[in-house]
Amino acid sequence: MTIPQRLQDFADDLTAMRRDLHAHPELGFEEVRTAGIVAQNLRDWGLEVTTGIAKTGVVGVLRGNRPGRSIGLRADMDALPIDEQSNLPYASRTPGVMHACGHDAHTTMLLGAARYLAENRDFAGTAIFIFQPAEEGLGGARTMIAEGLFERFPCDEIYGMHNSPYHEAGKIGIRPGPAMAGANFFDIAITAQGCHAASPHTGIDSILIASALVQQLQSIVARNIPATQQVVLSVTQIHAGAAYNVIPEVATLAGTVRYFNREMAEAVTRRMQDICDGMARSYGVEISLSIRNVFDVLENDPALAQVMVDAARDLVGEAAITHNDPVMGSEDFADMLAVVPGAYCTIGHAGSVPLHNPGFVLDDAVLPLGAALYARMVHNRGAV
């Protein structure tokens, strides 16, 4: 592995920074402390800093010592509403909030790249460091774009990455073209007729209808979508009732649809609406469906994905490059890639606990590698 020695020199600083962020996680659009740390470090290193984009987003601009292109680098900053159970000495001090997806590491890696590049500015062009809030389903990327991110900070290309406990440590994975699924979130409200639980014949049971509806929804992909298409529909929430002796008036369902083909996603939506309408007529109740797009399909520009592979090869060697399979999980960096061409990769680290798990532990040894890859993209692409 050929990580620059200077990055290795301040690896301990990166670890301390990451662990501090881990101990103080913040949810989407609430990353006030995190954004403050990011902005102050960037200023200390001589970058031009803009704050307040999408409420807590931060952008740092660093100009190289010779003319060239503008290269965007993005990291997300938000944590998840999970109660940490890692027992780490630097575990979350905020009850019910945890960096269970490694965004603390992404932020630290990008700060590491900024520090490294700022020390001598020995690169062509301009590096745009984008610290994004609210990646976890709250639309942070879309909000930054809507508030003029790329008009204010034009980028010729943009790159991002995600830590991965699913690869071997030090492995860098990427997939050209569609790499991560798009996602719709849905909410369904069933308004029936509440009654005493001892006299169910006097009302209309919203829980019974909700249970039947879940089963019907789960038939959509299996019986309406070609088996060659990658689509997942999952009901993830059911809420109804607050007493042992009351059949509730209202029951609600919520969940997600993941897809790679937008036409298939639209077909699922139509079928969901048909089922809701049919069951409403059948049971004599009201059923409302609300469905919204939250993540687009993440599509890596094939040529720039290869550029990222080439940069990664310089750092870890050919044997440590892997071709990722399509992932049904989603990532709102997709919205940035829909505006600016670029690529997104994964970086393996030690550990077997999956992301979004209360016991997730990140291996800090991955931090210099991530910082080095960000920096290498600026070095390699600014002068193109």
pLDDT in tens, 302-341: 999 999 999 999 999 998 899 999 999 999 999 999 999 9
Asked if residues 332 and 147 have their Cβ atoms less than 8 Å apart, the reply is no
- Amino acid at the residue 139: G
pLDDT, mean over the chain: 97
The more confidently predicted of residues 1 and 326 is 326
Look at residue 1 in the predicted model and tell me its pLDDT: 55
| DSSP secondary structure code for residue 53 in this structure | E
Instruction: Report, as an integer, the average pLDDT of 267-294.
Output: 98
What is the fold of 5-179+297-381? Aminopeptidase (3.40.630)
pLDDT in tens, 133-161: 999 999 999 999 999 999 999 999 999 99
* Element housing 184 (H / E): strand 182-191
Instruction: Report, as an integer, the average pLDDT of 289-314.
Output: 96
Q: Where are the domains of the chain?
A: 5-179+297-381, 182-294
Instruction: Report, as an integer, the average pLDDT of 192-197.
Output: 98
Three-state secondary-structure class, residue 66:
strand
| DSSP states along 299-325 | EE-HHHHHHHHHHHHHHH-GGGEEEPP
Look at residue 319 in the predicted model and tell me its pLDDT: 85
Three-state secondary-structure class, residue 150:
helix
Here the tokens at position 234 are: 């999952």
pLDDT in tens, 75-107: 999 999 999 999 999 999 999 999 999 999 999
Here the tokens at position 61 are: 């601009």
Here the tokens at position 226 are: 């070609």
- List % helix, strand, coil for the chain (3-state, nearest 5): 35, 30, 35
Here the tokens at position 76 are: 């997300």
| Domain 182-294, CATH among 1.10.8.100, 3.40.50.450, 3.30.70.360, 3.40.50.300 | 3.30.70.360
Could you give phi then psi for residue 295, rounded to 5 degrees?
-130, 140
Is pLDDT at 71 greater than 80 in this prediction? yes
